[in-house]
A and B are shown apart, each in its own frame.
Chain A
């Protein structure tokens, strides 16, 4: 249960954060290839931290809330950049 949440939820959250990171960096003036390259290197570190956090924390509601927030932000930025371009 906790493992599935760490692996699956952590993946979705990291993926969402990666998407919004790339969108925001490009909006901030970074080149697209550079934003994706930097994000690719950071996203694995983020995913690792999220997994460890789920296993280390006592109550699951906090990571659960943060993950949902990250996924939501990922969708929102994707929606806005998609309609903007």
Chain B
């Protein structure tokens, strides 16, 4: 073991970063994209690009769907209204063990065609916290703890934090420049790295550390009933009860909350005597993740129960949750999250590059070095290329396509994983050149995605910029172009430098 504290922290920083940096990059990259998940959804599901209706929507307009659900003996029926970021109305119901999802055009009341994609909210966002495999959230948790360890050890091995605010020397040797960039991104973004990592861990606190809940609540059900006295009896009697007006309930909910409007209404066991209506309050006006609920009786529409106000500590925890989930609506802050997330990605990537750069001269052909180089390529530029391949596949695959038993949504995901694996293989097969080639590939794919969006949806950039409801699409295309430009520039300057050193 290293003799003194700073040295031991340096050792820890290097190795924890090397081993879990790839996972961390994947989590931060997907999390950064999840900041704009609804906007990416709009890009990936062209059928949902519509002007959001200004007039207040009536819940009762969807009564026939609710009656249909009670005929099917659904265990719940839920309606979520469109909002500023999502122009589509969603109806979800569960019949037996099956969940049904309907995306509805709010102005016509008709179902939208099957989008044939998971979109960002169905693929990128779950990838962020579970990596999309069983027990993946445990790996995410481990990486999260590693991130905290890296932050602390990074501060310890650093002598002069404040000088680093203003230190960036691109004209110095590349190793020095990479370290400067790593330090600037790390130090400037430090509050963001720590706050987001910590709050992310706390959200999954009950999963990672079940001992606390087990210690005080031997039976988990009894614990949740302590504060919220709502019990949902199972549908035993099949008595059909008449529904009260959902709009009246929405008005009542609004009068209880003051100004906030309900975000969604859930009818449990519709059509039976055990039916209950739950109204969820929108969290768009506060950071604290309240998820405030009211429960009404469906026969006469009287208020059965409401969630008691949160106590201080629980409120603090919900504040952390809200800080991470960004359910509140504020565009400048949302962009700040996005920019800070990209900053974290830059920090992780430059950490890898610095490690490689410091060792290339001495051990550039060693097996261990080439292993790390391939891993770094696959986990940094590789996941970016794979994400872009996901977008390109989304625009290339025809609707309703089915290949080898996989539907369109699954094929897009296969494209992602296939390309991602290929980038690792590429990194191992072509050391050094890999960075040039993958940078250019990022640029090509980004440009291709923008072109394909134009060709397949007839929504080119000059049109999407002019129409307010298409701004999310315009924003995504612009970022793709900017990112693609940066990737081309990086790739070509790396290629130039490689030529210069070859002539030396």
Which A residues form the contact surface with B (CB < 8 A)?
Answer: 2, 7, 14-16, 18-23, 26, 31-41, 43-44, 47-48, 51-52, 55-56, 58, 74, 77-78, 81-82, 85
- In the bound complex, residues from chain A placing their C-beta under 8 Å from that of B212 are 18-19, 21-22, 35-36, 39-40, 43
Residues of chain B contacted by A15 (CB below 8 angstroms): 209, 211
Kindly list 18 other residue pairs between chains A and B, CB separation below 8 angstroms, not including A33-B314, A74-B211: A7-B142, A18-B209, A18-B212, A18-B215, A19-B214, A20-B215, A31-B311, A32-B217, A39-B209, A41-B316, A44-B145, A44-B198, A47-B145, A48-B149, A55-B12, A56-B5, A56-B8, A81-B216
**Do B209 and A81 have beta carbons less than 8 Å apart?**
no
Within 8 A of A (CB), among B1-34: 1, 5, 8-9, 11-12
Residues from chain B with a CB closer than 8 A to the CB of A56 are 5, 8-9
- Is the beta-carbon distance between A34 and B314 smaller than 8 angstroms? yes
Is B215 a contact partner of A33 (Cβ separation < 8 A)? Answer: no
Asked if A52 and B152 sit within 8 Å, CB to CB, the answer is yes
B8 near A55: Cβ-Cβ < 8 Å: yes
Residue of A nearest to B6 (CB): A56
The bracket for how many chain B residues form the interface is 35 or more
Enumerate chain A residues within 8 angstroms of B226, measured Cβ to Cβ: 31-33
CB of A19 to closest CB in B, whole Å: 4
B292 at the A interface (CB under 8 A): no
Q: B148: CB under 8 A from chain A?
A: yes
Interface residues of B (CB under 8 A from A): 1, 5, 8-9, 11-12, 142, 145, 148-149, 152-153, 198, 201-202, 205-206, 209, 211-218, 223, 226-227, 311-314, 316-317, 320
| Contact B209 A37, beta carbon cutoff 8 Å | no
Complex alpha-carbon distance, A15 and B205, angstroms: 11
Report the nearest B residue to A82, measured CB to CB. B218
A39 to chain B, nearest CB (A): 5
Please count the residue pairs between chain A and chain B whose beta carbons lie under 8 angstroms apart in the complex. Answer: 102
Smallest CB separation, A6 vs chain B (Å): 9
* Complex contact B152–A48 (CB within 8 A): yes
- Chain B residue numbers with a CB within 8 Å of A16 are 211
29 A–B pairs (Cβ distance < 8 Å), ordered by A: A2-B1, A15-B209, A16-B211, A18-B211, A18-B212, A21-B212, A22-B213, A23-B215, A32-B216, A33-B227, A33-B311, A33-B314, A34-B314, A35-B212, A36-B212, A36-B213, A37-B313, A38-B313, A40-B205, A43-B205, A44-B201, A44-B202, A48-B149, A52-B12, A55-B9, A56-B8, A58-B1, A81-B215, A82-B218
| Residues of chain A contacted by B217 (CB below 8 angstroms) | 32
CB–CB A41/B149 < 8 A = no
From A17, which residue of chain B is reached at the shortest CB distance? B211
* Cα separation A36 to B210 with both chains bound (whole Å): 10
- Report the bound CA distance from A37 to B198 in whole Å: 14
Q: Which residue of A lies closest to B227 (CB)?
A: A33
A78 in contact with B9 (CB, 8 Å): no
What are the residues of chain B within 8 A of A21 when measuring CB–CB? 212
A44's partner among B5, B148, B213 (CB-CB below 8 A) is B148
- The residue in A21, A37, A44, A51 that gathers the most chain B C-beta atoms within 10 A of its C-beta is A37
* B202 near A41: Cβ-Cβ < 8 Å: yes
- Considering only CB atoms, which chain B residue lies closest to A81 in the complex? B215
